[in-house]
Structure 1
């Protein structure tokens, strides 16, 4: 069975000091660097928004981050401006080793539709190309880590399961945004209910090698 590692959104804007900072997100970078050496196939996702993206609160007069709007038949949470295409905030963290990454899949590129999952836009109508890429490589098992546990990691993991991949979450390689205090914990519980195996990074060598 072929295995791949997916690194979710390890970008400057999600790190401490970034415009949409996830607490202690910088702590997952050493984990990512360490576990990459155990995989032949390492893939990264990258949030890559146009400046006029509909998920940015500033693009809706009188609206603020944390509010919800209804757009394209979906409820969309509004966020601070983050990961705008070709800005420093959208770049991968400088300390992240990139030499093992064979492909990057950008998401959130459509101005009117967000994309939490690395596989689909939020309406599940348009794919990013990640699933097809993995199937071409005959990958059957995915190990996923990154930020944020309760958003892009969770939806990437859930879609991986729906698409038939045996899926592992590297828990110590994730950090949660926790808009609500229990969001990270609840996300992990939700992932467990669909059959995701929760492991720690020190178990990866044992599982993969």
Structure 2
């Protein structure tokens, strides 16, 4: 039962989004119950369909479109109610949906009884499509380089390619996000706090204007500011470089894809160590290849630095 309810609510939500993107504001308004309420941060509370309709009609004058929900979660309360939460972005704004309370009416249709969302970013003009792609540099920190506590096989070469992309993104004024891993366990083998090994390599170090996301786990999304940063910037696509291929690179690509982002992993700009499993030994190059193969199945598109620049220049 809960699965069918979840599917029905998802379909109702998709219809609302489709009408919004078509500019059919009246159809969107009619999916609210007459007594519905809507809380919009920072704009206030709107009680009843008429007040909600007035808000959306005024907002429509700014030409909103390209609305997308990501990281959608639906929690079924009972056979007639479910709560949807998500991240959202459109051409002129982005934010979070804390709560859409969908209710099954006597006519067999699902309607919004409550709508609680936040606007994190609102733009005076639509964000150009190329600005919705961010370079994400994952864990290119001193401990992964020769002389560090856990050197990888090809960190120097991978970082050179990452630097080439970083230079391109900076020259074009495109978004750049840096990820830094710091283990909270003081006995960790590497990346322990207050050591030189946690510092990002100087050649790809963040500039003051570039977000730095600090994480304490393999997944860059867990207990970090990454998701909020992506929402605030209106990002749709991640171009991923860094280390390690079999751990943090694999995981950020999987997590981002599952949340609705498109990912490109730069095949010659990621690094891995030599590792053994049972009777088998794998070089860093082999681990990179194996993880790119894994990601090709619904995780990310693999592309070289030169190919990416040729396609995007």
TM range (shorter): 0.7 to 0.9
Matched, 1:176 2:272: yes
Query: Helix, strand or coil: the match of 1:37?
Result: helix
Q: 1:141 aligns with which of 222, 231, 237?
A: 237
Residue 118 of structure 1 is matched in structure 2 by 220
Distance 2:199 2:275 in 1: 23
Distance 1:119 1:159 in 2: 7
- The number of aligned residues is 171
Residues 100 and 145 of structure 1, relative CA distance in 2, 3 Å threshold:
farther
| Range that drifts further, 90-99 or 4-13 | 90-99
If asked which structure has higher relative contact order (CA below 8 Å, sep 6+), I would say 1
Distance 2:135 2:209 in 1: 9
Residues 116 and 35 of structure 1, relative CA distance in 2, 3 Å threshold:
same
Deviation at 1:195, TM superposition (A): 4.4
Is the 2:254–2:299 Cα contact (8 Å) retained in structure 1?
no
Q: Of the two, which has the highest radius of gyration?
A: 2
Deviation at 1:52, TM superposition (A): 2.9
Unaligned 5+ segments in structure 1 are 57-80, 109-114, 121-126
Residue 200 of structure 2 is matched in structure 1 by 92
Matched, 1:31 2:165: no
The structure with the greater share of residues assigned to helix is: 2
Matched, 1:104 2:104: no
Distance 1:11 1:97 in 2: 9
Is the 1:178–1:184 Cα contact (8 Å) retained in structure 2?
no
Q: What TM-score does the superposition give when structure 1 sets the normalisation length? A: 0.75
Unaligned 5+ segments in structure 2 are 1-128, 277-281
Distance 1:98 1:52 in 2: 25
Q: How does 1:48-87 map to 2 (within 5 A)?
A: 48-52=182-186, 56=188, 81-87=189-195
Q: CA RMSD in A?
A: 1.9
Deviation at 1:36, TM superposition (A): 1.3
The structure with the greater share of residues assigned to strand is: 2
Deviation at 1:154, TM superposition (A): 0.7
Residue 78 of structure 1 is matched in structure 2 by none
Following superposition, which runs of at least 4 residues in structure 1 exceed 4 angstroms of deviation?
none
Is the 1:22–1:175 Cα contact (8 Å) retained in structure 2?
yes
Distance 1:101 1:195 in 2: 29
Distance 1:155 1:202 in 2: 24
Residues 195 and 50 of structure 1, relative CA distance in 2, 3 Å threshold:
closer
Is the 2:143–2:150 Cα contact (8 Å) retained in structure 1?
yes
**Which whole-Å deviations, capped at 9, do the CAs of 1:135-162 have from their partners, x for residues lacking one?**
1211101100101111111111111111
Deviation at 1:51, TM superposition (A): 4.5
Q: 2:143 aligns with which of 13, 17, 27?
A: 13
